[in-house]
Structure 1
Amino acid sequence: MDFAFKTFERPLLAMLPLAIILVQYFSRVRFPFGLPGGLVAVASGAALAWALGVMDTGAVAAAAAEVGFQAPRFAGGELFGMIRSEYIYRFLPIIIPMGLFNVIGSLQNLESAEAAGDRYETVAPLAVNGVGSMLAAFFGSCFPTTIYIGHPGWKGIGARTGYSIMNGVFFGVIALFGCVNLINAIVPMEAGIAIVLWIGIVIAAQAYQATPREHAPAVVVGLFPAFAAWGLNLLKQGYLGAGTTLGEQAARGIPINGFAGIPALDSGFIFTSMILAAISVFLIERRFLEACLWSLAAAALSFFGVIHSFRFQGNETLPVYGWAAGWRYAFGYLCFAAIFAAFHLWRRSNRSNQPARTED
């Protein structure tokens, strides 16, 4: 949604590229000479920005002065020094769940690719992610690699294996030669927003298109935690812009009905989305035993604070891990499990009490 907001925040720059992207990918219209729609959109947006005089030639000159080969610097010493410091143990309860979130996100992207007709083995992509993240860390990167989201969208615009290779080469070159700021100074962000917005549209649409129609309510339920995370982020930005923090306002009492449920759904929302969607699917199919088992898993995760538990710290909400950290939510999921187990046993009893059919 952020990209949609930014598009309409600066319509003079962003709506022309958006129109080109929509014509290319919604209407499946090919541009003359086989030009890619994304390239046409970015070039048109950049040209319009310069024509309107909103770009800064001084910024281009300053960025151009930074261009030059920047050899990677080995940071293994600093890395091992950090491992021996107190910080690694202090933040380990955050590091481990974040690593799990990355793994889950990668698995979801593999599933998205399979739903789009392309099946990949699980082990090799995850292994490459892990090795890539560790190698990058030895050279100072704090960003873990993950399987890129949006496979259906990229496939829809004609991208194949070569696209990923070209991406890697392109970003490797501009990073090694310090060209990132130069590109940002020449091409406004609004020129490329439409492409990312298109990918988001395709991913959201796939959630409904690649699932049975009767499972559509489960897709909606699975979106609740994601909407909560998005809404909480808006609150944080708003309070920060107003010179205060979410923690300060929460201590005073935020006048939003059910506010405490927003950070509760935000905490561990990737897991919660999967769990709630899975429970909903099994209930739709009247598979009460499976719904019960998923509820028990949710109760265990809640009890130890992996999902739902949170605390305010400044303008952030941080997870709270530990014994009985989220016992209230665990109790709620145990109620889920009890109800579903009761219906499972009731249906099983009804089936066993039905008289056996005899053939004439």
Structure 2
Amino acid sequence: MPASAPLAQRRRAFGGGDLNGVLGLVVDNLSILAFLATALVGIFGMPADIVFRRMFPGTALGVLLGNLAYTWMARRLAAKTGRADVTAMPLGLDAPTSIAMALLVLGPAFAGYRAAGLDPGAAGEATWRLGMASLVVMGVLKFVLSFFGAWVQRSVPRAGLLGSIAGIALVLMGFLPLVEIMRVPVVGFAGLGIILYALVAKRRLPFGTPGVLGAGVVAVALYYVLGPLGVLGTGYHAPAPWTWRLGFPWPSLAFIAGLPATVPYLPLILPFGLLMVVGGINVTESARAAGDDYPTRDILLVEALATLVAGVCGGVAQTTPYIGQPAYKAMGARTGYTLVTGLVIGLGGVFGYLSNLVELLPVAVLAPILVFVAIGITVQAFEAVPLRYAAAVVFSFFPAIARMLAIKLGDPGIVDPARFGSLYADGAHGVSELAVIVILGNGFIITSMVWASFVVAMIDGHVRKAAAIVALGAVLTAFGVIHSVQPIGAVYLPWLLDPGARALVWQFVGAYGALAVVLLLLSIRAGDARNAV
């Protein structure tokens, strides 16, 4: 390496591109934390102190540790290659799974604990332990799968993986925040319009202002200027006074008490971890294509260990390397932006200023960012797979839509158990429509993978493989991994269910079994399944 190379690297350790990178990466993480807090505190009524002083510090610690590790990896790569233009892999909280954790796991669990008679404090503590345990389970899964990344990528079609996460993005990460935007439309729609102008239409804002920053400044100005004047009506809430909420993310064994509570949520939790492993492989390939050749296993191990440590220290949302490494590289970011972002987010969780920022920035200001990310993820699902698989991607959206409807209908059986009393029959009409929606949505991520995978197999002419995938769906249905007949989506041994529930399980198992037989017969008729069309 030339003697001048280390000096060049030091000069580029933090520059203008790194400043832009910090703004983007910090805002991304802040928006996810804001939605997490808004969902848990504002929608489900969880005590704010538990969210800000128990959940935030450990969650932020995962971001700090992961970004420090990626910064070190980038500087090691720069020293090895003698290049000063190496860009660190950005790491942050994963938006789709963090939002899904809030809306599908933590929030409903808190509501369930309250319905069981626990006071808000005790219910919040139990929910926090469940969140910790969920993160530990995901961390362990990601650690194991990090050694088998290539096998995972080969086993599940890209349409199934991207389609399932796009379904989360479109209906949970996109639609639900869009509803929050329209609660304060003067603020939210203006911010969304600026983001679409700058990041979708790719038009330049005045003074070269980054799109996310420009949208935030305009939305905040509208909120705090028009709000006190009464223009926003009930959509405006005066900011809470600044409060130092110290919370140290000490390692704790409290997650052990939450492990049993994770069982009903495993059909959600395990796919969350699987998706991040595959996502980590994809972003590593993306960075390699941009010129920075990071070892895939190292990227995955950092992601897994950051998630695992965050869970042991009280975190409830998993970290992931972001897909935008080439974009950060194009804006001139190198290694300083990940270092600074990690420190800002990590220390903010400890000293509490993240919670104050979250309270100062209403959801209507931050939700447009989530809508944009949802659009990007959904578009990627179609761009990253061959056009002939588009139908498989679309088909995989329907279980996520069912889950969104169940959420908007109030999660019968969780928020109000009495509403789900007629689960198994609706007079002469058989199973009630509400029950079908909830059952279709239970385990929706794995359902989406199964549905997209067997459609892809059929498109490729592998009809026997499609029959085998559908048969696997029947097995998963029998044990409630998908289409659970329990309102909260719990897994079970079907022979231990009461007769009404067991009869409904066998109906859904029979549906998959009948389709598997039909596909098998079609493959025999075609002669050679691999050549069937």
TM-score category, normalised to shorter length: 0.7 to 0.9
Q: Percent identity?
A: 23
One of 102, 117, 123 as aligned partner of 2:272: 102
Question: What is the CA-CA distance between 1:34 and the residue it aligns to?
Answer: 2.8
Q: Does 1:37 align with 2:211?
A: yes
Separation of aligned partners in 2, 1:161 and 1:302? 48
Q: Do the aligned partners of residues 31 and 144 (structure 1) sit closer, same or farther apart at CA in structure 2, a change above 3 Å counting?
A: closer
- For residue 166 of structure 1, report the CA deviation from its aligned partner: 4.4
Q: Is 1:67–2:244 an aligned residue pair? A: yes
**Residues 42, 146 of structure 1: CA spacing in aligned structure 2 closer, same or farther, 3 A cutoff?**
same
Task: Find 2:448's aligned residue among 266, 273, 284.
Answer: 273
Cα displacement (A) at 1:123: 4.1
Q: Distance in 1 between matches of 2:302 and 2:506?
A: 37
In the alignment, what sits opposite 1:356? Answer: none
In the alignment, which of 449, 456, 463 is matched to residue 288 of structure 1?
463
8 Å CA contact 1:153, 1:198 repeated in 2: no
Counterpart residue number, 1:263: 438
Q: Equivalent residue for 2:37?
A: none
1:88–1:287 Cα change, 3 Å: closer
CA contact (8 A) 1:299 1:331 kept: yes
Distance 2:296 2:481 in 1: 24
Q: Residues of 2 paired with 1:289 and 1:158: CA distance?
A: 45
- Which of 363, 370, 373 is the aligned partner of 1:196? 370
Q: Equivalent residues in 2 for 1:112-123 (5 A)?
A: 113=283, 123=297
Q: Aligned AA for 1:260?
A: A
Once structures 1 and 2 are overlaid, which stretch shifts more, 264-273 or 23-32? 23-32
**Equivalent pair of 1:288/1:340 in contact (CA under 8 Å):** yes
C-alpha contact 1:45 1:188 (8 A) present in aligned 2: no
Deviation at 1:127, TM superposition (A): 3.1
Partner of 1:348: 527
Question: 1:29: how far off?
Answer: 1.4
Match for residue 219 of structure 1 among 393, 398, 407: 393
Change (3 A) 1:257 1:309: closer
TM-score by length of 1: 0.78
1:173 and 2:350 matched: no
Label 1:68 to 1:347 Cα distance change in 2 as closer, same or farther (>3 A). closer
The residue type paired with residue 109 of structure 1 is G
Indicate conservation of the 8 Å contact 1:235/1:246, yes or no: no
Deviations 1:99-146 (A, max 9, x none): 4122223145347647978678664444334322332233233x1524
TM-fit CA distance, 1:30: 2.0
Instruction: Name structure 1 gaps, 5 residues minimum.
Output: 353-360
Q: CA RMSD in A?
A: 3.5
Name the residue aligned to 1:332: 511
Deviations 1:68-87 (A, max 9, x none): 754433434x456x3xxxx6
Check the 8 A contact 2:250/2:313 in 1, yes or no: yes
Once the two structures are TM-superposed, the CA of residue 245 in structure 1 deviates from its matched residue by 4.5
Q: How far, CA to CA, are the matches of 2:311 and 2:263 in structure 1? A: 19
How much does 1:92 deviate? 5.2
- Does the Cα contact within 8 Å between 1:79 and 1:138 map onto a contact in 2? yes
- Alignment counterpart, residue 222 of structure 2, candidates 27, 48, 55: 48
Aligned to 1:23: 197
1:308 and 2:483 matched: yes
**Which secondary structure state, in structure 2, belongs to the residue aligned with residue 311 of structure 1?**
coil
Asked if 1:12 corresponds to 2:186, the answer is: yes
SS in 2 for 1:147: strand
**Larger mean Cα displacement after TM superposition, 156-165 or 9-18:** 156-165
CA 1:306–1:296: 2 relative to 1, 3 Å: same
Q: What residue identity is the alignment partner of 1:75?
A: S
Larger displacement relative to structure 2 (127-136 or 283-292): 127-136
Structure 1 residue 270: Cα displacement: 0.6
Q: Which runs of 5+ in 2 are unaligned?
A: 1-174, 229-235, 496-501
Deviation at 1:257, TM superposition (A): 6.6
Identify the structure with the greater helix proportion.
2
Shift in Å, 1:343 = 1.3
Query: Aligned pair in 2 of structure 1 residues 271, 111: CA closer, same or farther (>3 Å)?
Result: farther
Distance 1:157 1:261, change over 3 A: farther
Preserved CA contact (<8 Å) 1:292 1:340: yes
State the match for 2:73 in structure 1.
Answer: none
The structure-2 alpha-carbon separation of the partners of 1:321 and 1:123, relative to structure 1 and needing over 3 Å to count, comes to farther
After TM superposition, the score normalised by the length of structure 2 is 0.55
Larger Rg: 1
- Return the structure number with greater relative CO, CA threshold 8 A, min gap 6: 2
CA distance in 1, matches of 2:492, 2:334: 41
Deviations 1:148-196 (A, max 9, x none): 6x73699499676756554433211211211123213432221221111
